[in-house]
Amino acid sequence: MKFRLKYFIVLVVLASLGSIIYGFSIKDEQLQLANKYIGFGTVGLFLVAMPLFLIKESKGKKVKDYMLTDENIRKMREKKEKRRQDK
């Protein structure tokens, strides 16, 4: 499953980039169609590929570890003070 999702994400990114590039290449001849290709490419990147990538990469990780809570702030300050003492 992991590898399939990885390849699907790569496929979506390449298709989106191809759509955007194609949209810019035909912009002089067919403006409305070009805008549709550019728009669909952008949607593919930011509303399909990016969330899938984030879901894939964040599996098994605790969101609390990455949030700025009082406990995490204290831990960061302790690490900073320890580094100063080591120098």
Enclosing domain of residue 46: 2-86
Domain count within the chain: 1
CB neighbourhood size of 17 (10 A): 14
Instruction: Quick: pLDDT tens for 7-65.
Output: 999 999 999 999 999 999 999 999 999 999 999 999 999 999 999 999 888 888 887 77
Instruction: Quick: pLDDT tens for 6-17.
Output: 999 999 999 999
3-state SS string over the chain? CHHHHHHHHHHHHHHHHHHHHHHHHCCCCCHHHHHHHHHHHHHHHHHHHHHHHHHHHHCCCCHHHHCCCHHHHHHHHHHHHHHHHHC
User: What angle in degrees, to the nearest 10, is found between the helix axes of 2-25 and 50-58?
Assistant: 160
